[in-house]
Structure formats: structure tokens, C-alpha cells
Structure 1
Amino acid sequence: MSFSQELRKESEVIFQGIFEHPYVDGLGKGDVPKEALIHYVKADFEYLNAFINIYGLAIAKSSTREDMAYFYEKIGFVLNSEIHPHNNLCQVAGVDYDDLQGYALPPTADHYVSHMKSAAQQGSMGELLAALLPCPWTYLEIGHYLIDKYKPEPNHPFYDWITFYAREETASITTELREKLDHWAQNVGETEKEKARQAFIKSCQLEYGFWEMAYTQEEWPFKIS
């Protein structure tokens, strides 16, 4: 069993919790409260900006041009492709995407971003990869889970969102990051692998927390203008 397979097996209960979360299930049913859609997009826009920053840190940690080119290419995917599922949610909510950009992160999303940046800045390449991997991996499995469970047709309100994350390009990102993490794990000791494991599990926990944050429209306890 590869290192990434071990991580996926250990995090099974979290993945199942994500699949069963009312926000995710609501996407499959075609019924998510407008306010929850808006809260998600506001937070995810800034979260993906942080994801781009971390790809930049991965370039800085890379020792080959092949790896540098890979992470550079993935920045383009976030900038040019992941706007499509956001636009789907905005269309259903009846809001303009541009109006949901530039907001402060709610507590859980802020914690998630801080965790990823800490792993990227202070940890090894393995920790960086492990912190990033749950995002594409959980979304890939969510896409397939919702297709299998609800079999959405093109007239489904979240058809574009669901099919975007189930498509081959999303699968390839997960596969490539897993391969890079597995290759790294073959050449390090148990102490380094344990740090990467902790980074992966925490990101999985925070993926669940991100859905909960959006569904409950989590805010900071006190609003300071």
C-alpha cells in the first residue's frame, strides 16, 4: 500500500462525513440555501488565492524544472478553470461573482489557510503536498459520489459544479499530487512521513469544517468595522 493509500484509508471516516454533510448532499439534491452558496463562494475565492500562493512556495521548494513547470501549470488551472464551479453557484444564488470577491475569511477558512501556509513555509515538500492534497481529492470523490447517488441531468441546478469536479482533469490533479507525495515518502524516514500524515489529516478535518462553515454561515464572534 502506498503512502497516499494509507492516508486515504486512515481518513475514511472524514471523507464519509463530507459526503453526508447537508451542504454536499444539498448540492446533489439541488437544494442549498442561497446564503450558504454566497458564504461558500466568498470564502473559497480567498482560499483559492492562498492555494495559488502555496503553489508558488512549491515552485520555490522544487529542485527540478519539471516540478517548477508542473506547479506553474496548476496555478493556471486555479486562475482559469476553478472560476466555472464558482459561477455555477453564483448563478443559482442569483448574484454576480465579482460582488463576492475580496471578503475576509471566516474563522474556519482562515484556520485552513494558515495551516496550509505553515506546512508550505516551515515544512518539507512532503508536508506541503500532504496539506494540499485533500482539497482536490475530496472534491474529486464528492463529484463521483453525487453523480453515483443522484445521477444529475444537464438541467440539474448544480450540474456544472458536480461534473466539473468529477471530470478527468480534476482526477489527474489528484493522481499527480499523490504520485509526487508517494515518491517523496519513499525517500524519507518515519519522522518526516508522520509530519506529512498530520498535515494531511488536519487538511481533511478542515475540508469538512469548510463545508460546515459555509452551511452555518460562520462569522467571527464580534464584527469590528
Structure 2
Amino acid sequence: MTFTEQLFQRVEPIWESYLGHPFIKGLSDGTLDEEKFKHWLKQDYVYLIEYARLFSIGAAKSTDLNMMMTFADLANGTLHTEMDLHRGYAKQFYISEEELEQTEPAQTTVAYTSYMLNKAQQGGIENVIAAVLTCTWSYNYIGLKLAEAERHTHHALYDEWIQMYASEEFTEFKDMCIELMDSVTEGKSEEELKRLEDIVVKTSYYEYMFWDMAENIETWTTPIK
């Protein structure tokens, strides 16, 4: 069994809980309040900027040219494929690119991205991959689950979201991350693997917090007036 196969057994119950979250259920059946989706859209846009930064750290810490090229491809996919999707969605919700760029990250967004960047900076290339793995893999997990489910969504834009993350292109994007994780963990001790597993588990909890943040349209607990 590969490291990521063992890892999936640990995080699957957490990811399964996403499917029962009101935000994800609303995406699935088309009943999600558009203001909640717009909040997620803007927060995820600023999140992706930091996510691309993680892939850039990965390129800098890569141990060979092929790995460096892979991280460059992943950064490119984030900066173009995913962020282009967000910009396209924004237009359909009458959110300008200027508004996206001026979005202030919510406390959950700051906590999540800061944790990933901290872990990526602390260790070697394996830390970078562990830090980015949950987001890509769990979004593909959600997309595929919702695409397979019998649902009666009446919201074309939410269905487009589902198809994006269930797409062959995004699945390949996720597979690249899984292959990298398995490659760099070959020969690692149980102690090292446990440390990497802990990063993936914690980012999985942060993902749930991110869905909560979107559902509740949260910014900061004590807003400055």
C-alpha cells in the first residue's frame, strides 16, 4: 500500500463530512444562497494566490529538474485554470476583477494559508507537497462525489463548479500531487511519515473550517469599525 493510500484511509472520514456540510449540499442541489457562494468565491480567490506561492516554494525546493517542472505546471494550473474559473464566475455574479483583487482575507483564510506556508518553509520538498495535497485532492473528491450523485440542481453555475472539479483535467492535476507525495516519501521512516500525515490531517480540518466560513459569510470574529 502506498503512503497516499494509507493517508486516504485517515482523511476519508473528514472529507466525507464535507458532503454533509450545508454549503456543499447547497451546491449539489442548487439551493445555496448566492451571497454565500460569492463570499466563498472571493475568499478562495485570495487563497489561491497563496496556494500558487506554495507551488513556487516547491519549485525552489525541488530536488531535480523533472520535479521542478511539475511544480511549475501546478503553479501554472492554479494561476490560470483555477483563477480563470474564479474570474469567469465573478463576472457572472457581477463581481469585478478589481473587487476580487481588493478582497481582504477572512480569519480562517489567513489561518489556513499561514499554516500551509509555515509548514512548507519549515521542511523539505515533502512538507510542501503535504501542505498542498488536501486542497487539490479533497476538491476533486467532492467534485466526483457530487457529479456521481443523483441531484436536481436548478443552478447552472453551481453545476459548472461541480463539473470543473470532477473534470479529467482537474483529476490529472490531483494525480500529479499524489504521485509527487508517493515519490518523495519512499524510504521515509514511520516518524517522518507520521509528521507528514499530521499536516494533511490538519489541512483537512482547515478545509472544513473554510466551508464553515463561506456558509456563515465570516470575516473576523471582532470586526474593526
TM over 0.5: yes
Aligned to 2:64: 64
Question: Are the aligned partners of 2:55 and 2:128 in contact in 1 as well (CA < 8 Å)?
Answer: no
**1:102-153 Cα deviation digits (max 9, x unpaired):** 3221111111101110111002222221111111111111111111114578
- Structure 1 residue ranges without an equivalent (≥5): none
Aligned to 1:131: 131
Deviating 4+ runs (over 6 angstroms): 152-155
**1:178-208 Cα deviation digits (max 9, x unpaired):** 1111122212212211110110001111111
Measure the CA separation in 2 of the matches of 1:25 and 1:91.
Answer: 24
Residues 98 and 162 of structure 1: CA distance in aligned 2, closer, same or farther (over 3 Å):
farther
Percent of aligned pairs sharing the same letter: 28
1:99 paired with 2:70, answer no
Aligned to 1:32: 32
> What are the equivalent positions in structure 2 for 1:37-48 lying under 5 Å apart?
37-48=37-48
Measure the CA separation in 2 of the matches of 1:161 and 1:82.
Answer: 11
1:215 paired with 2:215, answer yes
Greater mean deviation of Cα atoms: 155-164 or 105-114:
155-164
Amino acid at match of 1:113: T
Root-mean-square deviation (CA, aligned residues, Å) is 2.0
Question: Are the aligned partners of 2:112 and 2:206 in contact in 1 as well (CA < 8 Å)?
Answer: yes
Greater mean deviation of Cα atoms: 171-180 or 109-118:
171-180
Measure the CA separation in 1 of the matches of 2:171 and 2:152.
Answer: 19
Greater mean deviation of Cα atoms: 155-164 or 67-76:
155-164
CA drift at 1:11: 1.1
Give SS of 2:31's match. Answer: coil
Question: Are the aligned partners of 1:37 and 1:89 in contact in 2 as well (CA < 8 Å)?
Answer: no
Give the TM-score of the pair, scaled to structure 2: 0.92
Measure the CA separation in 1 of the matches of 2:91 and 2:168.
Answer: 24
Question: Are the aligned partners of 1:85 and 1:160 in contact in 2 as well (CA < 8 Å)?
Answer: no
Give the TM-score of the pair, scaled to structure 1: 0.92
Measure the CA separation in 2 of the matches of 1:155 and 1:217.
Answer: 20
Measure the CA separation in 2 of the matches of 1:57 and 1:17.
Answer: 30
Measure the CA separation in 1 of the matches of 2:30 and 2:144.
Answer: 16
1:148 paired with 2:148, answer yes
